[in-house]
Amino acid sequence: MSQIQPTSLDGQIAVVTGAGRGIGAAIAVKLAQLGAQSVLCGRTRAPLEETAAAIQSAGGRSAIVECDVADWRSVESMAERVERTFGHLDILVNNAGIMGPSGPLHELTPQAWDQVFNTNLRGVFYTVRALAPLLIRSRGGHIINISSLAGKNALPNGAAYSASKWGLNGLSYSLAEELRAHNIRVSVICPGSVNTAFSSHAGKKAERMLQAGDVAHAVAMIVTQTPQSFASEILLRPTQKP
Ramachandran area for residue 35 (φ above 0: left; ψ -120 to 50: alpha; else beta): left
SS3 state of residue 113: helix
- DSSP assignment letter at 40: E
Rounded distance, CA 184 to CA 234, Å? 17
Point out the residues that are catalytic: 161
Alpha helix stretches (DSSP H) within the chain: 22-33, 45-57, 72-86, 110-117, 123-137, 159-179, 212-223
Rounded distance, CA 229 to CA 221, Å? 12
Are 191 and 148 in contact by the 8 Å Cβ rule? The answer is: yes
Distance of alpha carbon 117 from the chain centroid:
16
Backbone angles phi, psi at 200, to 5 degrees: -70, 140
Are 164 and 146 in contact by the 8 Å Cβ rule? The answer is: no
Amino acid in position 59? G
